[in-house]
Amino acid sequence: MATQRYFRYPQPQSRLMTRTFSKRELILILLLALGGLVVLPGLNAFVPAASALHVSSFTLSVYGKYLTYAVLALGVNLLWGYTGILSLGQCLFFSLGGYALGMYLMLMIGKLGQYKTDIPDFMVFLEFVTKYPATGGLPPHWIPFKHFWFAAAMVVTVPAVVAYGFGWLAFRSRIKGVYFSILSQALTYAACLMFFRNDFTFGGNNGLTDFKFLLGYDINAPGTKRVLYLCSAGLLLLTYLFCRWLTSTKFGLIQRAIRDSENRVLFSGYATADFKLFVFVIAAIIAGLGGALFVPQVGIINPSEMSPEKSLEAVVWVAVGGRGNMLGPILGAIGINSLKSYATHAWAEEWPYILGFLFIFVTVFMPKGIIGLPAQLGEIKRRYRARQQPTAVPLAPENAPPVSSEGAGE
């Protein structure tokens, strides 16, 4: 497989660097990719609806939505797990990507809307024609979104530019830790309030919805849904591979060095603000791409997607799944959302409490998340054994990280 070559570490002959794929991880990824990219859509396309094995288009779309969430989670992880920057506003970039594609989808509805006009319905009932008479009610900045290529470019550009502007200001002023988290939350909240306003021209609290066509295809047709699902799975795989590559470079080492000892990095001649800004922009682009695939599958984007609690939820996925590695956040995003869609039916009232409890439990007792559980249990077992044999060699030195790979006693 090409990935083997792609991820080769600078000095493959040296055991000093062991960040290439382990065999176990490679097999796991291949299996997941096979299941997500081939089996699931195959069961949807080729198994008759009457069969017990059939996966309905609705289910496929739901999983597609989870996959876009997983993409978002990978971005959060790149920031939080690898660089130590806890952004509580990542859903802003997710929504911006979603809105950019949503605008294109709105313009593709054509005359099929309630008012049978060329412009989207909300522009009719908000009487935009009085504000923008020259364009028949369509705000000028909407016009280029008739072209798919333009919308697609904006999916990446808008989150990147917003992240660059905000990050530039924040990191230059050395805003760190909890202050950065609060500011990022304020940013997404401010954006949320702005998008709620009708005269901001993005549909107010209703947002953008009622989509009909994507690139000429019926957006509700099973085939289109399947393709959208496949795009989400493909995007997730590519994002995963990209993050793996990025964190395996020298850049990745510096990322984690910033997380563990930012001063040392700064006093070693690295402009840490530039490195943090780069990661922040990358994470925003990843979120934007996820958002763009989220919208056509869910069929709606509105300002509530930017509300601070959405971004908090994304952080919970990453914490529960396990940050600081690449599979944990994916597991967390898909797992918690599956649980959520079940729990909000079964115990709708209790769900926020369940989620809150889960978050607290994981942060306190499982700092490495679900993905770190086997290693954690192994560590407990070793400690237990060591206690049984008091003469045994002492365990890892105090400062050693709790989950080290092999026996630390020298």
Query: Can you give the binding site for another protein, defined by CB under 8 A?
Result: 10-11, 15-17, 246, 249-251, 253-254, 256-257, 260-261, 263-272, 274-275, 278, 396-397, 399-401, 404, 408
Tell me the one-letter amino acid at 351.
W
What is the C-alpha separation between 340 and 312, in angstroms, rounded? 15
Please report how close the Cβ of residue 180 comes to another protein at its closest, in angstroms. Answer: 19
CB of 6 to another protein, least distance (A): 13
How far is the C-alpha of 335 from the C-alpha of 320, rounded, in Å?
Answer: 9
Please give the structure tokens belonging to residue 87. 């952004």
Site of tokens 């490679």: 26
Nearer to another protein, 218 or 260 (CB): 260
d(CA 235, CA 33): 11
Minimum CB–partner distance for residue 403 and another protein (Å): 11
132 versus 245: smaller Cβ distance to another protein: 245
Q: How far is the CB of 394 from another protein (least distance, A)?
A: 12
CA distance 156 to 28: 30
Report the distance separating Cα 276 and Cα 284, nearest Å.
Answer: 12
- Report the C-alpha dihedral over residues 38, 42, 44, 49, rounded to 10 degrees: -150
* Distance spanning both ends of the chain, measured CA to CA: 38
For another protein, give the closer residue by CB, 88 or 257: 257
Tokens, residue 286: 């990843």
Q: Shortest approach of another protein to residue 269 CB, angstroms?
A: 4
Comparison of 116 and 174: residue with beta carbon closer to another protein = 174
The nearest distance, CB 212 to another protein, in angstroms, is 42
Q: How far is the CB of 213 from another protein (least distance, A)?
A: 39
In the block, residue with structure tokens 């609705």: 58
Burial of 27 (0-12, 13-18, 19+ CB in 10 A): exposed
Amino acid at 349: E
Task: State which residue, 291 or 372, has the beta carbon closest to another protein.
Answer: 372
Q: Which is nearer to another protein, 124 or 396 (CB)?
A: 396
User: Which of 136, 407 has the CB closer to another protein?
Assistant: 407
